[in-house]
Amino acid sequence: MTITELTDDEFSKFCGLIYRAAGIRIADSKRIMVGNRLRRRLRATGIGGFAEYYGYLTSAAGAGEMPQFLDAMTTNETYFFRDPQHYQWLGGEFLPELARSAAMRRPPRRLRIWSAACSTGEEPYSMAIEVAEKRPILAGWDIRILGTDISGAALAEARAGRYDARALRLVEPARRLAFFDEDAAAGRWAVKADLKALVSWKLHNLLMPLREELFDCIFIKNVLIYFDRDSKQVVVKNLLAALAPGGYLLVGPTEGVYNMLEPLEKRKTWLYRKPGG
């Protein structure tokens, strides 16, 4: 099967479709990337050209292909403990503060953390390591870490919990031994079952409200850079609605939403607290 180059009109149509479905703007500089990833979907589906594939995606018959298309267009590389200062705050300040506060109140004691746009799971598992290391001060707590992403393929990798050495490059040897099992022959590290048990996963589009209980802490990192202002405002509204009074929102340095967070109290350049609680 011979596939011609992506035309200007086809590139524009696919970019428009990605924006309508996920709120993500694709830069003109990503044209080669889009074309290459589309070719993979053409080979997988047996469809002969870009125009035919677009017609299929936008038809009722192509509804089942749409998640695969978005997977191909939105999956990005990540790794454990990206931006270490964020996890130092989580384990060194936030969790002890929460435990002290809970000690002054009556049970039940609970902790809910949301990793929004978690990709292949390195972020929520990094959170889980910080939580697991604070078990002595969180004994008996009801703990849940939720990882969500628009990519079903990324979530499948997250559930499997198997990573190469590159993804673990910031994980100290002692932590590797404590929380991973090494498969030296395959060059992979598998997340141990007790750490996996702290994390659950859900397919979710950030443009839609998350129908869950409120969260004590939300991470949103390295994703909103791809959204335009209107889409960012929708996402921020949904994030704030999901944040418990007194809860913290942690944002990445490239998200470009700082001027949209006025209802929150700024604690650091990347950390905001919701009043109340």
**Could you tell me the two tokens for 199?**
């994390």
Q: Which residues have a Cβ under 8 Å from the Cβ of 263 and sit 6 or more positions away?
A: 240, 274, 275
**Tokens 């790794």 identify what position?**
79
Out of 71, 83, 112, 149, which one is annotated catalytic?
149
Q: Which residues have a Cβ under 8 Å from the Cβ of 56 and sit 6 or more positions away?
A: 45, 47, 62, 65
Active site residue 144: no
Q: Which residues have a Cβ under 8 Å from the Cβ of 246 and sit 6 or more positions away?
A: 216, 273, 274, 275, 276, 277
Out of 37, 39, 109, 159, which one is annotated catalytic?
37
Active site residue 37: yes
Which residues are the active-site residues? 37, 149
